[in-house]
Amino acid sequence: MRNEESTVRRGLGTRMGAALGAAVVLVAVHPPAQAAPDTGSWTTEAVAPGVRVRAGVLRDADAKPSWTVTVQGPGSAPLGDRSWADATAGRLRDAGFEPRVERVAWPAYADTPHGTMGWRVRVGSYGTSGDAQGAREKVAAAGFSVVAEWTGYDGQRPADRESVHVAVIDPARFTGTVAATHDVSVADREKTSSVAAKRHSLVAVNGGFFVTSDADGVQGTMAGIAAYEGELESMAAGSRAALILADGGRHARIADLTSTVTARAGSSTYAVQGINRVPGKVRNCGRPGATPTELPRQDLTCSEADDLVKFTPRFRAALPAGPGTQVVLDADGRVVSTGPRGGTVPAGGSVLQGIGAASDWLTAHARQGERIALEEVVRDTAGRRVRLDADDSIVSAAPTLVKDGRIAIDAATEGTLDPKNLSFGYAWSNVRQPRTMAGLDAKGRLILATVDGRQPGVSEGFTLEEAARFMRSLGAVQALNLDGGGSTAMAVNGRLANVTSDATGERAVGDTVQVLP
């Protein structure tokens, strides 16, 4: 099994390098030698001087995915230890089934164990989803917790088809700008292609993680650091990867960023823990005082009992109501009013909302006509301050994929999986999914890429490791994973270019990255 997995990883890099590595240098490429003929499926479009888009399908003729039935591990985990796997296989045989036990190894993460991750137990190989569902019902009737799965999503074996789009923006030749944007309001959701069409963008991709449910906050607000036109509009969820587009994208870099905001009234200070989010709710966690964890934790909403949150003019929705105190500030940061939470952010002004001890601080220190100063600081992991000007923007997600030219996936550190709890983040990180990625090559060219997924036999997607190898094969020396799944979208000349995975069509998202003429 170890040799097979090693071969899969080497083959992945070879196929991607052969098929798309030349996309960065923008010369003609052909499908990989081992792939089935796919005449005419590879396209290159010169969208503008310095901007080109390459699209095609990575194929592996030797890959033979099928439908199967997988037994859920202990506690609904996807895997178990060897003793559990052997015991489960024995019970299945006693029930008249023919199980197989598969070893699953840890991917090439920088911050997790190596070797065996766990073992899974499966039954059968089926040509259709319907056949697998029928088999699943029989196994379930025998007392097992099982799911029907497509083996093409397994990272341990080659994928048969992966539909990819790659845009390369060369700042040495491109005279336009590249910027992250949340369009009109940070408290709204909009499709990537819709924003692109309105802004007449050359290329656009979806951006960072955002709130998708009212239970977790205001839909559309970002769940990680974000800045548009030089203004910080969301705070970091711990130290996580971000794409910094400075000088209209002419100087871009990727770094893990943290953020702090301090409110000062006279000699008294209080830490602001959020911008443009519901007080008490921290999507993806990662803030001091958050429970159950102050560390980043993907798709988990943490709580803050004593929470001070700033709202900016871009929050164009009704302010969250509820217990606590609200202070309205004018453009100079002077207190206009103090009272209960609610209403809207005044044009040119801002609002502070506090609950718990933060509410008490506002009540004690907010005085009509007096100033509450807000100091915002963004730093990278080297401690360097990231200063924002009007033509700078930031979009963030997780995790880092490539660092200093090497694959360096810090999935555990950035909270997309937990090595001690395989029920958390396994499918998100280790199973093939639609992905959106951003990277920079050694010449400073920006690479924006998508892979379609969740389409058995059409396009499986990438695991995080495959995403990293893909970006490295394109020449990226720095790369990060952006929001993916149903959010993954690329628009070219204002039209959706890829096939999104949601049954309802392209998903309305939070922020996006727009390449503007």
Higher pLDDT pick, 13 / 303: 303
Judged against a pLDDT cut of 50, whether residue 37 lies above it is answered with no
Tokens 């400073």 found at: 444
- Asked if 181 and 314 touch (Cβ cutoff 8 Å), the reply is no
pLDDT band at 26 (very low <50, low <70, confident <90, very high): very low
Listed residue (337, 300, 327) closest to 217, CA to CA: 300
**For residues 299 and 421, what is the distance between their CA atoms, to the nearest angstrom?**
15
Judged against a pLDDT cut of 50, whether residue 3 lies above it is answered with no
Tokens 């502070």 found at: 352
Structure tokens at 30: 């052909």
Structure tokens at 68: 């199967």
Strands 350-355 and 307-311: antiparallel
Judged against a pLDDT cut of 60, whether residue 9 lies above it is answered with no
For the chain, which domains are there?
2-63+158-174+397-516 (no CATH), 67-153 (3.30.70), 209-380 (no CATH)
Q: In the predicted model, what is the mean pLDDT of residues 459-488?
A: 97
DSSP 8-state class, residue 347? T
- Terminal CA-CA length for the chain: 50
pLDDT for 17 equals 53
User: Quick one: how far is CA 23 from the chain centroid?
Assistant: 23
Judged against a pLDDT cut of 50, whether residue 27 lies above it is answered with no
Structure tokens at 377: 């600081």
Listed residue (105, 144, 183) closest to 430, CA to CA: 105
Torsion angle of C-alpha atoms 343, 345, 347, 351, degrees rounded to 10? 130
Judged against a pLDDT cut of 90, whether residue 161 lies above it is answered with yes
Q: In the predicted model, what is the mean pLDDT of residues 33-40?
A: 38
**For residues 139 and 511, what is the distance between their CA atoms, to the nearest angstrom?**
44
User: Average per-residue pLDDT in the chain?
Assistant: 92
pLDDT band at 33 (very low <50, low <70, confident <90, very high): very low
pLDDT digits (tens, 9 = 90+) for 169-203: 999 999 999 999 999 999 999 999 999 999 999 99
**For residues 435 and 427, what is the distance between their CA atoms, to the nearest angstrom?**
13
Q: List CB contacts of 102: < 8 A, sequence separation 6 or more.
A: 1, 119, 120, 121, 122, 156
Judged against a pLDDT cut of 80, whether residue 23 lies above it is answered with no
**For residues 341 and 158, what is the distance between their CA atoms, to the nearest angstrom?**
54
Q: In the predicted model, what is the mean pLDDT of residues 260-289?
A: 98
| E strand segments, 85-199 | 99-105, 116-126, 146-150, 161-169, 177-181, 190-191
pLDDT digits (tens, 9 = 90+) for 349-406: 999 999 999 999 999 999 999 999 999 999 999 999 999 999 999 999 999 999 999 9
Q: List CB contacts of 493: < 8 A, sequence separation 6 or more.
A: 47, 201, 202
Residue 216, CA distances (Å) to 211, 278, 282 in order: 6, 8, 8
Q: Which of 4-18, 138-152, 299-313 has the lowest mean pLDDT?
A: 4-18
pLDDT band at 12 (very low <50, low <70, confident <90, very high): low
Give the 3-state secondary structure of residue 127: coil
pLDDT for 39 equals 39
pLDDT digits (tens, 9 = 90+) for 101-151: 999 999 999 999 999 999 999 999 999 999 999 999 999 999 999 999 999
pLDDT for 282 equals 98
- Asked if 169 and 515 touch (Cβ cutoff 8 Å), the reply is yes
Q: 35 has which bridge partners?
A: none
pLDDT for 41 equals 72
> Where does residue 466 fall: left (phi above 0), alpha (psi -120 to 50 degrees), or beta otherwise?
alpha
